[in-house]
Structure 1
């Protein structure tokens, strides 16, 4: 059976929460629930590190503006994680060259990450913090559910991931005005901080 649906799905999920993907896959493999998981992801040290980072992301991703800073840092990390996980899955299955799998997983993770980051910028224009928590929880549940589904029904999971990616992309275009307001607000805050430091140093 082709591993491409699982590779695509893991790439999409990695673009949203790479640590959750690594932790869930490793946990499913280590507990014997699935034999599709590469041994490298089942190692205790990998599970511990991924679990701790997943908890860190679970907190940071629910705080307005902190989530965007976290996303910015992970613009490189998530696509790399998506490519590595995809290559490991391909190596485990043998039906798709690892380099091709890495390209698919990394590219899908990058697109998914950009969609997530764009949507969160739009959410950050909301005056109340509850929307960040709701969206973040929905992402956590969505990633977890789709990854578990992918191990048993990879084609169905890849269809779900593709639909969610398409819907997310369309939504980003609809909230572009809010994203632009977010960036304007962010630039204004930086300008105010710089002018404030200049005033303090001038008085000094």
Structure 2
């Protein structure tokens, strides 16, 4: 596997961890346990994710996140708490993917992985705040379900086709930027209307 493919996988997984950290951890461990994700030697650090205890904790946390994410405003509280957890998780996942014999690459992967996870998390949390402002509860469940499906599908694609993982990372980054810009526009409109109503 080439350097660009490794960077692509690290970037994709880090960005996805910003949306669904625990699902990323569980799905990666499950794929390794079932032999669907054979790891080369330099990714041996990810082997810990296939540990039954780690998978069990990740599965419980993924279930809790799945349920919390479907409830209006509880999802925003969950996101607020995970503002500190997801970037660290994304950084550690990226760190586990790069070659451990190259300390410079590890530091870069850690910083970029944490930054990517934080950017994805910020886009998700901002978009969810806008969705929560909607009076009906259906949109929240629909958006959350779309995030679940997209995370699982993109995670599988990143590991199955490492040569396109870089493209996946770029698409995720573009979606994150779009979500942040859209949330900003919508929130401005809401605040402007509120000010006009109070005037």
**Taking structure 1 as reference, are residues 58 and 28 closer, same or farther at Cα in structure 2, changes over 3 Å only?**
same
Q: Give 1 or 2 for the bigger CA radius of gyration.
A: 1
Q: What is the aligned partner in structure 1 of residue 197 from structure 2? A: none
Distance in 2, matches of 1:115 and 1:179, equals 13
Q: Which runs of 5+ in 1 are unaligned?
A: 186-204
Q: What is the aligned partner in structure 2 of residue 46 from structure 1? A: 54
The answer to whether the 8 A contact 1:119-1:172 is kept is yes
Q: What is the aligned partner in structure 2 of residue 14 from structure 1? A: 17
How does the TM-score come out when normalised to structure 2? 0.84
The 5 Å alignment of 1:38-117 reads 38-91=46-99, 97-117=105-125
The 5 Å alignment of 1:1-204 reads 1-2=2-3, 3-36=6-39, 38-91=46-99, 97-179=105-187, 181=190
Secondary structure of 1:175 counterpart: helix
Distance in 2, matches of 1:141 and 1:96, equals 34
Instruction: Give the aligned length.
Output: 184
Question: Shift in Å at residue 30 of structure 1?
Answer: 1.2
Distance in 2, matches of 1:161 and 1:31, equals 25
Question: Shift in Å at residue 89 of structure 1?
Answer: 1.4
- The superposition leaves residues 34-84 of structure 1 with CA deviations (integer Å, 9 ceiling, x where unpaired) of 123621111111100000000000000011110000000000100000011
Distance in 1, matches of 2:164 and 2:103, equals 19
Question: Shift in Å at residue 100 of structure 1?
Answer: 1.9
The answer to whether the 8 A contact 2:127-2:179 is kept is yes
Question: Shift in Å at residue 150 of structure 1?
Answer: 0.9
Q: Which has the higher contact order (CA 8 A, sep 6+)?
A: 2
Q: Which runs of 5+ in 2 are unaligned?
A: 195-199
Secondary structure of 2:65 counterpart: helix
